[in-house]
Amino acid sequence: MKKTFASHLLAASLLVMTAAPAVHAADTSRAAAPSVQKAGAYIDDSVITAKVKAALVEDKQISAMKISVTTKDGVVTLKGAVPSAELGQHALQLAAGIEGVRDVKSDLTVKAG
């Protein structure tokens, strides 16, 4: 009887040992996928932000203005003060022309001075 119990215990142990890595791998792959996608989105957004900032700095009409740029999921938001609505529109058009930009939101205010 001890032999039978020992053989059952051994068989159960082997079964658990062989199944555990497969279960762990399945759980890990599901958990890792969203963070990889988020990391990819973050990298893309940071590249878009850098490109928009560079375009604003290179533009002679806008370079002296303090406009902050944020990007989330390809949507760029420009925030700051501009001396005229025309220059604000120009900044929005520059941002919209950057590769990867899905949309541009304005949080710009017109302040003469």
Cα–Cα distance for residue pair 68/78, rounded to 1 Å:
6
Flag whether pLDDT at 92 surpasses 90. Answer: yes
Q: What is the pLDDT of residue 4?
A: 62
Residue boundaries of the structural domains of the chain: 2-110
**Comparing 9-13, 69-73, 102-106, which segment has the lowest mean pLDDT?**
9-13
Q: What is the pLDDT of residue 30?
A: 47
Flag whether pLDDT at 90 surpasses 90. Answer: yes
Flag whether pLDDT at 12 surpasses 70. Answer: no
pLDDT in tens, 18-36: 554 544 444 444 444 444 4
- Contacts by 16-25 with C-beta closer than 8 Å and gap 24+? none
| Banded model confidence at residue 7, pLDDT cuts 50, 70, 90 | low
CATH of domain 2-110: 3.30.1340.30
